[in-house]
Structure 1
Amino acid sequence: MRKRTKSIPVNTMTDNFGGDISIEKISVINLRALEKASENSFEDAQQSHRHDRHSFFLLESGTVSIEIDFQKYKIMPSSVIYMHPDQVHRMIAFENVTVSSWAINNENLNPEYLKLLEDITPAKPLALDEETFSIISEAVSLGIKFSERKNDKLYHSLLKDSCNALVALVVSQYLEQSKSNDRLSRFEIITKAFREMLERDFITAKKPTEYAQTLNISTSYLNECVKNTTGYSVSHLIQQRVILEAKRLLYYSDKSVKEIAAELGYDDYPYFSRLFTKVTEMTALAFRNKNRD
């Protein structure tokens, strides 16, 4: 039975400095062992939540099954995954795991890296070659050593810089898997700009014309670019982003459908209900009940 909660739980990760940076390495046999070794219950370990920072996980050994925004992944050793603070996730299972993790908030994250991370969200697990894995693993070990030197005059700077270096190493790997900006077509550049705006403004901007006006292009041209690049219309992508957030709130909180509609920018509750049914082919309450069985 899922715990009842008014909002999606936010997990404040173990802090190394003033509540904004964390870096650690843990080894756990399974979820039951985690329960015995900590104050968290077995149910808590599987409870869906968000992190309060940008978080990164380097799997060194074992296997991990995790669900991120309704997508299930099985992560194998020598892999890394990045999770944005908006993403809701839960641990399904793991065995004989050694994992390094680091997390950093917006204020301490290099602005250039923050922009790049927004571009690759949502990120999927990324397999690393042996050399890259070794470099990142060594950088984590060094960062952990820095985190233990709390009496150093520049302790926070050491921790901040080492964490940002780790972020840069991971971001560079994700970028290698995608096209660089200088190889993007005009259609792809516009679609990329639209997606960035959508992630930022989907609660307040629901019409394609609003995005087209901000980009200083016609609505028809924006649709042409997006359809050519993604296969979907601008309206479709707007609706999908809104409905993803609605699913998160329905699945992980006990807010009423009317409260969720208002939170997502819909004063017209019946319209929101019809939209949810149209996109998901079930009512909002049916979705909640189905996923809580």
Structure 2
Amino acid sequence: MTDDLGTGITIEKIAFQQLPPIDNADTGEEDRLAHRHNTHTFHLLQQGTVAIDIDFQHYNMEPSSIIYIHPHQVHRTTALSEITVVSLAITNENLNPEYLNLLESMAPVKPLLLPSESFTLLDQAVSLCLNVFGRKADKLYHSLLKDACNALVALILSVYLEQTQSTSKLSRFELITQAFREHLERNYTTVKRPADYAQKLNITTAYLNECVKHTTGYSVSQQIQQRIILEAKRLLYHSDQSVKEIAAELGYDDYPYFCRLFTKSTGMSALAFRTKNHY
């Protein structure tokens, strides 16, 4: 799907009776192995069932459901049966800035089973997007496609947001934790001290730690470490980079320290993790 991203947007409807073999020419090896895209992707499962791994969590999807996959997330399909799915891929540049901010703040999310009314509305929006996508000769083609697909994204967002707590109802502890996580997502490779995050939020380190631990059950240091280890797992899972290269990319010039940190956090060495998860 992402091979046809000349406009920064692509949408298609596909159907499979069963999961094609890895070397199938129509799907490509990458689609069957662990991978990630540089786009925001949305999959509306209309029929059939899908088993999918996203960031080392296993999910089973049933009709009619939706899943949003963030550009950073590593994923692979492990099984499917008689599916019909509509998939949208869209780059940051083509997303409404408000929708992009919301997607960044709510990622990661789980597959969501849709109420019939929501599914019908999304299905109608999908039909519009697919029709516009096929009208490449139209003079306003890209503008029409961008507007139609952003409307679809907005509808998907509204469904997800209905299932989560409204920001207006969040406690101060939860709001601070949310702000910390947003800073962490942007800075985890370069900023690793809790005090630096507290400074960004204009609060004390002790108060930041109190807020985060009350909301998540983990300290600020643990949250930072968990985010770094997640990215390390993603890179070990789907890239060919050496462990030393991954350590450097994540901001660790002290390679032995990074190795000890990974082992302490996961209970196995980085090389053992790569071997265990190699497909």
TM-score, normalised to structure 1, is 0.91
Residue number in structure 2 paired with 1:72: 58
Q: Over aligned residue pairs, what C-alpha RMSD do you find?
A: 1.6
Q: Distance in 2 between matches of 1:249 and 1:61?
A: 32
Give the counterpart of 1:199 among 185, 205, 212. 185
Alignment partner of 1:230 is 2:216:
yes
Alignment partner of 1:14 is 2:1:
no
Shift of residue 40 of structure 1? 3.8
Matched-pair contact (CA < 8 Å) for 2:33–2:76: yes
Matched-pair contact (CA < 8 Å) for 1:13–1:22: no
Matched-pair contact (CA < 8 Å) for 1:212–1:219: yes
Residue number in structure 2 paired with 1:220: 206
Q: Percent identity?
A: 62
Shift of residue 19 of structure 1? 3.8
Residue number in structure 2 paired with 1:268: 254
Q: Distance in 1 between matches of 2:203 and 2:13?
A: 48
Give the counterpart of 2:99 among 113, 127, 135. 113
Residue number in structure 1 paired with 2:36: 50
Shift of residue 49 of structure 1? 1.0
Residue number in structure 2 paired with 1:168: 154
Bigger relative CO (Cα 8 Å, ≥ 6 apart): 1
Shift of residue 20 of structure 1? 0.3
Give the counterpart of 2:113 among 112, 127, 148. 127
Q: Distance in 2 between matches of 1:243 and 1:84?
A: 17
Matched-pair contact (CA < 8 Å) for 1:222–1:234: yes
Q: Distance in 1 between matches of 2:250 and 2:238?
A: 15
Residue number in structure 1 paired with 2:20: 32
Shift of residue 290 of structure 1? 2.3
Matched-pair contact (CA < 8 Å) for 1:54–1:104: yes
Shift of residue 35 of structure 1? 6.4
Shift of residue 201 of structure 1? 0.5
Matched-pair contact (CA < 8 Å) for 1:13–1:51: no
Shift of residue 250 of structure 1? 1.5
Shift of residue 14 of structure 1? 3.3
Q: Distance in 1 between matches of 2:27 and 2:139?
A: 34
Shift of residue 143 of structure 1? 1.0
Give the counterpart of 1:62 among 48, 68, 71. 48
The verdict on how the C-alpha distance between 1:97 and 1:35 changes in structure 2, with shifts beyond 3 A counting, is farther
Alignment partner of 1:90 is 2:76:
yes
Shift of residue 12 of structure 1? 2.6
Residue number in structure 2 paired with 1:7: none
Matched-pair contact (CA < 8 Å) for 1:61–1:97: yes
Instruction: Give the partner amino acid of 1:87.
Output: Q
Paired residues, number: 279
Q: Distance in 2 between matches of 1:155 and 1:46?
A: 32
Shift of residue 292 of structure 1? 2.7
Shift of residue 166 of structure 1? 0.5
Instruction: Give the partner amino acid of 1:14.
Output: D
TM-score, normalised to structure 2, is 0.96
Give deviations 1:223-263, integer Å, cap 9, x for gaps.
00001101110000100000011111112223221111101
Q: Distance in 2 between matches of 1:255 and 1:34?
A: 22
Matched-pair contact (CA < 8 Å) for 1:56–1:81: yes
Shift of residue 107 of structure 1? 0.7
> Please, which moves more after superposition, 160-169 or 43-52?
43-52
> Please, which moves more after superposition, 89-98 or 141-150?
141-150
Give deviations 1:122-168, integer Å, cap 9, x for gaps.
01101111011011011111111111222212111110001000000
Residue 101 of structure 1 aligns to a residue in which SS? strand
Give deviations 1:257-291, integer Å, cap 9, x for gaps.
11111010001111111111111112112222222
Residue number in structure 2 paired with 1:3: none
The verdict on how the C-alpha distance between 1:34 and 1:263 changes in structure 2, with shifts beyond 3 A counting, is closer
Unaligned runs of 5+ in 1: 1-10
Residue 29 of structure 1 aligns to a residue in which SS? strand
Alignment partner of 1:23 is 2:24:
no
